[in-house]
A and B are shown apart, each in its own frame.
Chain A
């Protein structure tokens, strides 16, 4: 009895650890990441899509030498990105729709959209 118990305990711990690892990995797989590039004051891609009801991470790489401020009222973020810099932002789970974002320093010309389905 005594020799079996520790090994079954260890096995259970190992099983739990594997389950936990699998859970975190599946959670990570569900995370939606949108990659954006800002170049010559244009967002690339100009339009991205994402699933509804999930947390979204937006990554922006600024390939221009000048700073920009990525802002969106509907997505509710505003963040400065330095020239040649990179930023990451969290967006809440969204309902379907077309969400506009822009560079606050060039709002008229530099805009992009996130389409949530």
Chain B
């Protein structure tokens, strides 16, 4: 029962913290709840599909389909988060200049909401497919301990939801005028963490072999399987044994999103050219 509780709990907090942050980011925005609900439902459906076709997925693309799939959807989520931040930086400035208020209209960008709904969907799909597979395994195995495992799973779900809710309420307790700044930083670190995870899948597939040495080992100090380590892993991408490439991609993603947001938010007439060259050079660094 404890095993089931732990597995469900940690998958739920990984997806739940992301949902909590995005709920806080879009608080007060018209239709944001609807978009996020769409993301969650799509994620659950996607998770069932991924679980059902896990075997086919693993065998696709000469046996690395699963890694390519996971790595790609994570990379896609990073792009969506980056785009959201840059969009906010651009329009936040624009609207503040026009209306002199950083209020509701600023955060009512429907396209940006769609991007966040995709991020929610991807998070729920990844973690949900693990729960689905695990529960399917339980159901297939049967046995007398199945009821206690299901109770464990339910308790894990409740505990995970509670941690996610804490994230949300913790964030919304931040005064409104600071919330935007805090969530922008949170989303940037979230994106960098997802980018580093994405790299790990491509390395596992053997598609990326460079810089696979371990950068550091802090598993004795703070294991990323502990509760606190897990939360940090989701929030800022903490890993106790990252590869060199993961660390580099992490830093590059942080620099790219912060840099681009800054470039776009301060662009005037000539500034857009600066922003373009900044994006070109950050691409060159990523390559």
Interface residues of A (CB under 8 A from B): 55, 65-69, 73-74, 76-90, 92-93, 104-108
Contact = CB atoms under 8 A, between A and B. Distances in A.
B203 A92 contact: yes
A54 B130 CA distance: 31
A80 B204 contact: no
Contact of B204 (A77, A81, A85): A77
Given A67-B133, A92-B243, 8 more contacts: A67-B136, A73-B219, A85-B55, A86-B58, A86-B59, A87-B58, A87-B66, A90-B204
B200 interface: yes
A68 B130 CA distance: 10
Task: Report whether over half of chain B's contact residues are helix, strand or loop; otherwise say mixed.
Answer: helix
A92 B206 CA distance: 8
Interface in B231-253: 240-241, 243
A6 to B, nearest CB: 39
B106 to A, nearest CB: 40
A66 B93 CA distance: 54
A80 B52 CA distance: 12
B68 to A, nearest CB: 12
29 contacts: A55-B206, A66-B140, A67-B133, A67-B134, A69-B133, A73-B225, A73-B241, A76-B200, A76-B204, A79-B67, A80-B54, A80-B130, A80-B133, A81-B55, A81-B58, A82-B54, A83-B55, A83-B137, A85-B58, A85-B59, A86-B59, A88-B63, A88-B64, A92-B203, A92-B209, A92-B213, A104-B130, A105-B134, A105-B137
Given A82-B55, A87-B63, A90-B206, A108 B3 contact: yes
A67 B54 contact: yes
B7 interface: yes
A84 B133 CA distance: 14
Nearest to B217: A74
Contacts of A76: 200, 203-204, 241, 243
Contacts of B221: none
A80 B205 contact: no
Contacts of A55: 206, 209
